[in-house]
Amino acid sequence: VREGPANQSYGLQVATLAGVPKTVIKKARQRLLELEASAQRHAEQQQSQLPLFNLSPEPAEPSAVETLLERIDPDDLTPRQALEQLYLLKEKLESSEP
């Protein structure tokens, strides 16, 4: 006997030592094998599925309109320049639509 956690259950061995009938032990061993196989299949399925919410999408390239907007400083525009920029952005947006 060693100290520390066990890497498997010894319930069937203990049941055998306790005198549990062999037919019961045999059925329990078969059921244990089925459960372990099922757990293994489930673990493999979990690993093969893509983590839906863990991946971040790749950032998209900025559009022409977004690039123009980044360059505009609204505080440095006159009302006339702001209106011209607005028309330019609208034109770019309309020309980029399919």
Per-residue pLDDT tens over the stretch 23-75 = 999 999 999 889 888 888 877 776 666 666 666 677 788 888 999 999 999 99
Q: What pLDDT, in 10s, does the model give residues 76-88?
A: 999 999 999 999 9
C-alpha–C-alpha distance, residues 32 and 19, integer Å: 19
C-alpha–C-alpha distance, residues 60 and 19, integer Å: 68
pTM of the model: 0.40
**Token code pair at residue 32:** 């244990």
C-alpha–C-alpha distance, residues 56 and 46, integer Å: 19
